[in-house]
Chains A and B, each alone.
Chain A
């Protein structure tokens, strides 16, 4: 079966750095997305990786290793507004999006 694993919940301090990991086992791979979802709201796009390496976008960076079936989202200079769930999703060989359950990130002052 297809599976995407993320930690259920993480806690970090305002101003710090946090890394949210995602491992996947899917039938094929055609790209990986990270989305942010605030409580009671819709998911919004953060990043897309299809090649190995690091993609940087402001305070957020996303890394991919296809050989390891692994990605992480790195958030720097954490702000209270970064408190949200972070969803990892993989495009499989049938070009369907397979979603992880999400990681709830709690930011403390």
Chain B
């Protein structure tokens, strides 16, 4: 079944540890995104990639990095986790950036930093 897959689905992480959240899509979408979703706040964009080989910073990029070596994969790395990074993280993809095409979301990664 075509779609977008995230791993892990949930994780408890000690503060200061490094963590990579994985995201893979098989729809050959050009654009991919990482969001965090916190209670009472809208989805906030962390980083995005309009096409393979390019990345950009979103609204809340500090403490996170991404790479886009190929079309399918868009991992998100927390270099040294802090409790404020406790959140639900969603990866999404769309056919092209900023267009009227819908974004497809992964099932989310629930991350708790203790």
Residues of chain A touching chain B, judged by Cβ–Cβ distance below 8 Å, are 4, 8, 30-31, 33, 41-45, 48, 50, 87, 89, 91, 94-102
Contacts and interface: CB of A to CB of B under 8 A. Distances in A.
Interface residues of B, number: 20
Which label, helix, strand, loop or mixed, suits the secondary structure of the A interface?
loop
Contact of A48 (B43, B45, B100): B100
A95 B44 contact: no
Which label, helix, strand, loop or mixed, suits the secondary structure of the B interface?
loop
B78 to A, nearest CB: 21
A66 to B, nearest CB: 15
Given A41-B107, A42-B107, A99 B42 contact: yes
Interface of B: 35, 40-45, 58, 90, 97-100, 102-108
B47 to A, nearest CB: 12
Nearest to A4: B42
Q: Which of B42, B100, B103 has the most CB of A within 10 A?
A: B42
Given A41-B108, A43-B43, A45-B102, 15 more contacts: A31-B100, A33-B102, A42-B90, A42-B105, A42-B107, A44-B105, A48-B100, A48-B102, A87-B42, A91-B98, A96-B98, A98-B42, A99-B35, A100-B42, A102-B42
